[in-house]
């Protein structure tokens, strides 16, 4: 058994200084639904855990203004049930309640949800399997192995592990930003810049420094949010990770698409924005044909392998269906 030290700081400043003192072997505990999992599998072996659940200021969220503001410790179940979110930003609400069971949503925090690690079996189970994300330089067993659940976009020769989350996919479609606190104060980045594509060094999933904490998520309260959906295809009907998913939103003027948002999940190493597909819809009526064409365009550059090529056809249909569902809410 590995000894672990535990800290429960009473302020954000204290939490940051504790993280900075602990270095790379320290981990933040929020809901714990990912961290405990990975500790049981020996993927994570922290020497110190910093429990931030005393930081009540990070648990609040406010959807009443021109900007949706979500504290990083807000629980998935509370946010997914918010009345304004369900009515005016259904893609955000659906991405949360389709993500996990009620029990997990009651515990899981929004910040932790953004930072969950891949479900790649080679990463999670380790030796005798090669995994550059877990053991740099060992190789990637998924490339020539069982890669049905792996990435079509954003992969490299070192890693094709898929980003597993749902909420971040919907947030990327709505141009969300995150505020990050560290020893030098706060900084703000687009959520789309948080996650790293693997490149030659897939060990680190995000650009966060070890001593930094996500404080809040901010989303422009844009009118395009009302006509939106998070459409998720999975191997079982509920509480499973996406095989393919799409966050879609549309706005019409004079019968044609004036704004379109489209992001993909289950198919990329990071939450994936399909901007070309978005642009292809502008100025056109949204029909099953134009929606399907956008779906095909979204998957044009997919890098398929032995077991995952079916996702291209499936993905085009998921995009089509998501766009049509969203348009029905305008």
Would you kindly state where each structural domain of the chain is located, as residue ranges?
5-54, 223-327
Q: pLDDT by residue for the chain (330 residues), tens digit each? A: 678 899 999 999 999 999 999 888 899 999 998 898 899 999 999 999 999 999 999 999 999 999 999 999 999 999 999 999 999 999 999 999 999 888 989 999 999 999 999 999 999 998 899 999 999 999 999 999 999 999 999 999 999 999 999 999 999 999 999 999 999 999 999 999 999 999 999 999 999 999 999 999 999 998 899 999 999 999 987 788 999 999 999 999 999 999 999 999 999 999 999 999 999 999 999 999 999 999 999 999 999 999 999 999 999 999 999 999 999 999
Cβ-contact 6, 28 below 8 angstroms: no
CA distance 115 to 194: 9
CA distance 49 to 63: 31
The reply to whether 5-54 and 223-327 are identical in fold is no
Q: DSSP string of 30-81?
A: SS-TTHHHHHHTTS---SEEEE-TT-GGGT-EE-SSSEEEEETT-BHHHHHT
What CATH architecture does domain 5-54 belong to? 2-Layer Sandwich (3.30)
CA distance 95 to 89: 10
- Phi and psi dihedrals of 247, rounded to 5? -95, 120
Of the candidates 264, 72, 85, the one whose C-alpha atom is nearest the C-alpha of residue 166 is: 264
Q: Which helix (H) or strand (E) holds 177?
A: strand 177-182
Model pTM score: 0.96
Cβ-contact 265, 278 below 8 angstroms: no
Contacts with 201 (C-beta within 8 Å, 6 or more apart), sequence order? 132, 136, 158
Superfamily of domain 223-327: CO dehydrogenase flavoprotein, C-terminal domain (3.30.390.50)
Look at phi and psi of residue 242 and say left if phi exceeds 0, alpha if psi is from -120 to 50, else beta.
beta
Angle at CA 329, nearest 5°, toward 86 and 276?
100
pLDDT number for residue 24:
82
């Amino acid at each position: 058994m590995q000894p672990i030290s535990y800290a429960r700081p009473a302020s954000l400043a204290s939490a940051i200084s504790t993280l900075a003192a602990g270095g790379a072997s320290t981990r933040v505990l929020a809901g714990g639904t990912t961290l405990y999992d990975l500790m049981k599998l020996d993927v994570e072996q922290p020497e110190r855990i910093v429990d931030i659940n005393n930081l009540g200021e990070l648990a609040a969220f406010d959807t009443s203004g021109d900007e949706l503001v979500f504290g990083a410790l807000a629980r998935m179940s509370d946010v997914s049930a918010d009345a304004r979110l369900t009515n005016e930003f259904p893609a955000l609400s659906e991405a949360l309640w389709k993500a996990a069971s009620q029990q997990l949503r009651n515990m899981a925090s929004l910040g932790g949800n953004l930072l969950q690690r891949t479900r790649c079996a080679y990463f999670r189970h380790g030796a005798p399997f090669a995994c550059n994300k877990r053991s740099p330089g060992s190789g990637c067993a998924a490339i020539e192995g069982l890669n049905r659940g792996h990435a079509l976009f954003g992969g490299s020769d070192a890693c094709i592990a898929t980003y597993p989350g749902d909420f971040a996919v919907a947030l990327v479609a709505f141009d969300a930003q995150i505020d990050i606190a560290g020893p030098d104060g706060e900084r703000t980045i687009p959520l789309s810049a948080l996650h790293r594509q693997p490149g030659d060094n897939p060990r680190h999933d995000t650009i966060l420094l070890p001593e930094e904490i996500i404080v809040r998520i901010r989303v422009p309260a844009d009118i395009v949010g009302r006509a939106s959906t998070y459409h998720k295809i999975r191997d079982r009907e509920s509480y499973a990770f996406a095989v393919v998913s799409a966050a879609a939103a549309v706005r019409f003027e004079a019968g044609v698409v004036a704004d379109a948002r489209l992001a993909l999940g289950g198919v990329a190493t990071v939450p994936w924005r399909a901007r070309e597909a978005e642009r292809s819809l502008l100025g056109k009526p949204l029909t099953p044909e134009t929606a399907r064409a956008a779906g095909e365009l979204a998957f044009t550059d997919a890098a398929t392998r032995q077991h995952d090529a079916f996702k291209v056809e499936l993905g085009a249909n998921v995009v089509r269906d998501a766009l049509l569902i969203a348009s029905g809410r305008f």
